[in-house]
Amino acid sequence: MSAKREIGSGNNRPLAGVRVIEMAGLAPSPYCGMILSDFGADVVVVDRLSKGGPEIPNVMPKNPFDRGKRSMRVNLKTPEGIDIIKRMIKDSDVLIEPYRPGVMEGLELGPEEALMLNPRLVYARLTGWGQKGPYAGMAGHDIDYIALSGALSLFRRKGEKPLPPCNTLGDFAGGGMLCALGIVLALFERERSGKGQVVDAAMVDGASSLITMFYGLLGNNLMSLDIGTNLLDSGAPFYETYETADGKFLAVGAIEGRFYKELITGLGIDPSSLPDQLDMARWPEMKERFAQVIRTKTREDWMNIFEGKDACVAPVLDLNEVMEHPHNRERDLLVEFDGLPQPAPAPRLSRTPGEAVKPGLPRGTHTREVLEQLGYAPERLEALFGKGIME
């Protein structure tokens, strides 16, 4: 890929000119690639052939993770297919791979081989358990990784079983997002050393990092392991969600005294009829009192009372409501492609912002284009397609 290709209009985006190989995977690795693509990287997804064997399932025909990317299909079970990836590695800045330890080595595409081909390569390995440890070769999913990290234990009410926060904490926050950070850190360091390196991005590590504060709270005796009774885990009546008269919900986060005062005023409760805000023994009865009051009005009624007030109250919006909220509209929180709303690039940079570029055509559409940029002659291309090496 000797000719650098900028996708969209964002030549001033921070990662413009950075060339990324994304080995096709599910959830965290496509999300990582999407972040890099949003900020200008030329991301090429290397997928398996759609015929003659299993492939990564296309569970979302309209896939927001594909935005701004190109894609190709390669038969990695052939020497010719492996040679194509090696040729790409020589001319790329980043490789993202989401497989179990040893898979890329078995293809002769492991970090040792890749860094010999291109010593400046940032080789990102995005897995659940990491590259070493007794669990490294085991199958798993987000729920398993956040369980082992200790994070899942925090998501429960008193007396109830842990409730996984969908797959946001392991796959996306602890996995894809922190992998993207690791890649950017390695690229930044490369500017000084001129050398690439391996990024071991494990979701169990990432989920552990995300709960750093709770180790601090526990170590300072500011929380207990009786989860569901503490300040931030649904124990406190002023940090909780409540159902409204119309079956919708409010989120209340009035921790500080002045915010709590605004909350009580808005709820129309006489402060003298309540225990002290921090009387933990009486939090359960306070929660029931708040719940009874909040169930008397609709979510819209309560927001008419609390909007513009420092009571730390917000509506719990369903996904189909997010785009219509005035605050989100003004910030352009979501973008829409082909009728599919999706989050806009974040964070927002003042001079070189990210840009969400409409997803391309079906997987494999750019195979020929990528090979031409690699310098393959027309007759060689036809031979590769004819032999089923490429699709």
Find out whether 38 and 44 touch, Cβ atoms under 8 Å. no
Cβ atoms within 10 Å, residue 19: 19
* 58: its two tokens: 């296309």
Instruction: Give the whole-angstrom CA distance, residue 175 versus residue 193.
Output: 26
Coil vs helix vs strand at 201? strand
Tokens 């890099």, residue located? 36
Taking residue 180's Cβ as centre, other Cβ atoms within 10 Å add up to: 27
Tokens 């950017």 belong to: 184
Question: Is 325 known to be catalytic?
Answer: no
Cα 117 to chain centroid distance, Å, stands at 30
How far CA 173 is from CA of 1, 203, 206, 267, 319, in Å, comes to 31, 8, 7, 35, 19
Three-state secondary structure call for residue 341: strand
Residue 226 known to be catalytic:
no
DSSP 3-state of 97: strand
Q: Which residue has the tokens 């690039």?
A: 345
Looking only at the bridges linking them, the beta strands covering 340-343 and 122-127 are unpaired
Cis? peptide before 284, omega within 30° of 0 = no
Task: Please state, as a whole number, how many other Cβ atoms lie within 10 Å of the Cβ of residue 9.
Answer: 9
Q: CB 246: neighbour CB atoms within 10 A?
A: 12
Query: E-assigned strands of 94-223?
Result: 94-97, 122-127, 197-202
Options 91, 93, 142, 171, the catalytic residue: 171
What value, to the nearest 5°, has the Cα angle with vertex 33 and ends 196 and 61? 155
**DSSP class per residue in 212-224:** HHHHHHHHTTSS-
Residues with catalytic function: 141, 171
